[in-house]
């Protein structure tokens, strides 16, 4: 099979880089001395390169099977069984795209961005910003992550993502630097650059016509908000493809996070299939949304106080019941248990809870734990020493959950936040892996009818099954609603332009 162990690939890349540097040094030596000795040296280096390349190929082949197809650039080949072609692909990956040629273009200036929000919102934003920089022919500075959001995670880009891979794998598209050149840095310190939030849901033409002239004038523009700044639809096909390429291939987590993720997946796999439940029933979610279904008096008070305490949670007076009936609340753990049973999910399946601390703790988890006794959390699977590194770094914790979610047999988010959307899209990309996108509005209505006894279990279960038959992450069109971008399907939840097998641009009307 063509699954590639990521560490192996990375080692090869490093080796290749070293070899290339060596070769370059060899050429210089040759020019200076022009002696046959240096030619000999050059020949030696070439020979070593071949040996190393071969070693890498062998390593890649033996290390197969272990990790998802993400590691391979030419993913479609991953679904073919032809191992000869696969091997060829690997040689190709090593010799070519591992270090794509730099794109040569006239640089129009520099773009700095500060992302806002949680990890997955930032992830999507990084993809948008790379694509925008590519289309404006500017140089992108490695994005700054949000350290002041609710999660207050001090992690930098390079604490979460493999920054060198990010820069190198995109160099055939756009130049990315870790920081501004010194001259421009001084300009920034003197406040001589332009800082602004771009208009939400803009077309690329906005960036070309409004932002590019500013970049040309000030040399550096700093975009200080990045959430949903690029429209979902109506963008050039190449731009849409680049958004995915960044998402699925240029952005990968640091080795440390990847390895821990791999370990969690392995521990789960040893015991059979597993479902990842993104149970977004955490204190911040409930305080922010005002959803208090099933909470006691003290809890409601606590959540309300918290909402009032945060100035950027602007909506203060919330009617939880109405909001829930509109499908705008995350499912509670109890509602989730009923839903999974109604969908016919095997009670013996392992359920990995991808979430922080569940609000209400054991009391609220009891029903789910009875319905699905094999509930696991990373705190159970891993040693405290493994997790200590992640403490107070919610984004790194979220990265771990992201990896486990990608690999699961079934992924079920209980709320349509950014994690749910980005993972859903990524799983489509990995071959339409099963993701159950719950119709919460419909569900809470059914659940209420079942709970008061006006619906039998059989009727309830079949209604739930029927309503979700079409919501399993299989191929479908992204919903487009001109002028109401907030209500249409999010680009990253169904990046259909990048899902080669089913995408046919001619039938897209
Ligand atoms: C970017 O560069 C390409 C090729 O170098 C050129 O065709 C294109 O017009 C440039 N775009 C902008 C916005 O400068
Ligand atoms: C972004 O920059 C503008 C202009 O400098 C400023 O008014 C605004 O408060 C900034 N927003 C954020 C989120 O920092
Ligand atoms: C994490 O934060 C808590 C509370 O802010 C603090 O008590 C703890 O020492 C921190 N842990 C680490 C590893 O920094
Ligand atoms: C892993 C990877 O790079 N996958 C693909 C991302 O999307 C673009 C557009 O479909 C493809 O060209 C890449 O191969």
Residue 507 is given by DSSP the state G
Residue 151 and residue 140 in contact, taking contact as beta carbons nearer than 8 Å: no
Q: Does the beta carbon of 138 sit less than 6 angstroms from any atom of ligand 1?
A: no
Residue 110 and residue 139 in contact, taking contact as beta carbons nearer than 8 Å: yes
The pLDDT of residue 22 is 39
Give pLDDT tens digits along the chain (509 positions): 333 333 333 333 333 343 344 334 433 333 434 445 555 555 555 655 554 444 434 344 333 333 333 333 333 322 333 333 334 444 444 444 557 889 999 999 999 999 998 888 898 999 999 999 999 999 999 999 988 776 677 889 998 999 999 999 999 999 999 999 999 999 889 888 999 999 999 999 999 999 999 999 999 999 999 999 999 999 999 999 899 888 678 899 999 899 999 999 999 999 999 999 999 999 989 998 999 999 999 999 999 999 998 877 878 789 999 999 999 999 999 999 999 999 999 999 999 999 888 999 999 999 999 999 999 998 889 888 888 877 777 888 888 999 999 999 999 999 988 888 888 888 888 888 899 999 999 999 999 999 999 999 999 999 999 999 989 887 878 889 988 888 888 888 888 888 865 444 444 33
The pLDDT of residue 312 is 74
* Helix, strand, coil percentages, rounded to 5, for the chain: 55, 5, 40
Ligand nearest to the CA of 204: 1
Residue nearest to atom 10 of ligand 1 (CA): 137
Residue 396 and residue 322 in contact, taking contact as beta carbons nearer than 8 Å: no
Residue nearest to atom 2 of ligand 2 (CA): 196
Q: Does the beta carbon of 34 sit less than 6 angstroms from any atom of ligand 3?
A: no
Residue nearest to atom 8 of ligand 1 (CA): 137
Q: Does the beta carbon of 459 sit less than 6 angstroms from any atom of ligand 2?
A: no
Q: Please tell me the distance between residue 443's alpha carbon and the centre of ligand 2 in angstroms.
A: 40
Q: Does the beta carbon of 391 sit less than 6 angstroms from any atom of ligand 3?
A: yes
Q: Which residue is it, tokens 């077309």?
A: 203
d(CA 242, CA 277): 30
253: closest CA among 118, 399, 354?
Answer: 399
Q: Does the beta carbon of 174 sit less than 6 angstroms from any atom of ligand 1?
A: no
Residue 101 and residue 95 in contact, taking contact as beta carbons nearer than 8 Å: no
Q: Does the beta carbon of 225 sit less than 6 angstroms from any atom of ligand 2?
A: yes
Residue nearest to atom 12 of ligand 2 (CA): 224
Probe residue for ligand 4, chosen from 170, 244, 251, 495 as the CB with the greatest number of ligand atoms within 8 Å: 244
> At CA 69, angle to CA 63 and CA 73, rounded to 5?
100
The pLDDT of residue 95 is 44
Q: Does the beta carbon of 346 sit less than 6 angstroms from any atom of ligand 3?
A: no
Q: Please tell me the distance between residue 458's alpha carbon and the centre of ligand 4 in angstroms.
A: 44
d(CA 5, CA 362): 38
């Amino acid at each position: 099979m063509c699954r590639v162990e990521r560490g192996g690939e990375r080692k090869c890349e490093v080796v290749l880089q070293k070899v290339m540097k060596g070769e370059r040094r060899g050429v210089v030596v040759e020019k200076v001395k022009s002696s046959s000795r240096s030619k000999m040296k050059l020949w030696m280096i070439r020979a070593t390169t071949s040996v190393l390349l071969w070693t890498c190929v062998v390593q890649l082949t033996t290390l197969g099977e272990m990790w998802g197809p993400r590691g391979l650039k030419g993913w479609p080949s991953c679904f073919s069984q032809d191992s000869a072609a696969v091997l060829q692909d690997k040689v190709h990956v090593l010799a070519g795209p591992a270090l794509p040629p730099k794109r040569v273009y006239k640089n129009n200036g520099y773009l700095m961005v500060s992302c806002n929000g949680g990890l997955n919102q930032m992830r999507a934003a990084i993809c948008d910003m790379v694509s925008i920089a590519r289309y404006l022919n500017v140089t992108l500075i490695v994005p700054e992550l949000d350290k002041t959001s609710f999660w207050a995670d001090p992690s930098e880009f390079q604490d979460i993502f493999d920054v060198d891979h990010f820069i190198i794998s995109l160099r055939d598209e756009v130049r990315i630097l870790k920081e501004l050149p010194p001259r421009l840095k001084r300009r920034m310190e003197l406040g001589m650059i332009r800082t602004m939030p771009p208009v939400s849901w803009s077309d690329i033409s906005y960036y070309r016509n409004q932002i590019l002239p500013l970049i040309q004038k000030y040399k550096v523009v700093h975009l200080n908000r990045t959430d949903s700044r690029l429209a979902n639809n109506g963008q050039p096909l190449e731009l849409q493809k680049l958004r995915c390429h960044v998402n699925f291939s240029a952005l990968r987590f640091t080795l440390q996070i990847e390895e821990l993720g791999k370990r969690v997946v392995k521990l789960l796999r040893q015991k059979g299939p597993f479902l990842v439940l993104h149970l977004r029933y955490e204190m911040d979610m409930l305080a922010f949304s005002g959803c208090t279904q099933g909470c006691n008096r003290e809890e409601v008070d606590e959540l309300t106080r918290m909402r009032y305490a945060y100035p950027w949670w602007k909506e203060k007076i919330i009617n939880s019941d109405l909001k829930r009936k509109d499908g705008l609340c995350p499912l509670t753990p109890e509602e989730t248990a009923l839903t999974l049973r109604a969908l016919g999910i095997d009670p013996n399946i392992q359920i990995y809870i991808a979430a922080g601390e569940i609000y209400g703790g054991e009391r609220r988890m009891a029903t789910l734990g009875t319905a699905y006794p094999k509930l696991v959390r990373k705190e159970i699977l891993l040693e405290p020493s493994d997790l200590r590194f992640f403490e107070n770094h919610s984004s790194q914790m979220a990265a771990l959950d992201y990896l486990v979610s990608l690999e699961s047999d079934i992924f079920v988010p209980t709320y349509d936040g950014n994690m749910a959307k980005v993972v859903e899209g990524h799983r489509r990309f990995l071959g339409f892996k099963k993701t159950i996108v719950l119709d919460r509005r419909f569900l809470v209505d059914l659940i209420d009818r079942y709970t008061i006894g006006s619906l039998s279990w059989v009727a309830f279960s079949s209604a739930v099954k029927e309503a979700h038959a079409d919501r399993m992450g299989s191929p479908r069109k992204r919903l487009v609603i001109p002028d109401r971008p907030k209500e249409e399907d999010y680009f990253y939840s169904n990046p259909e332009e990048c899902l080669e097998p089913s995408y046919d641009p001619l039938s897209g009307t």
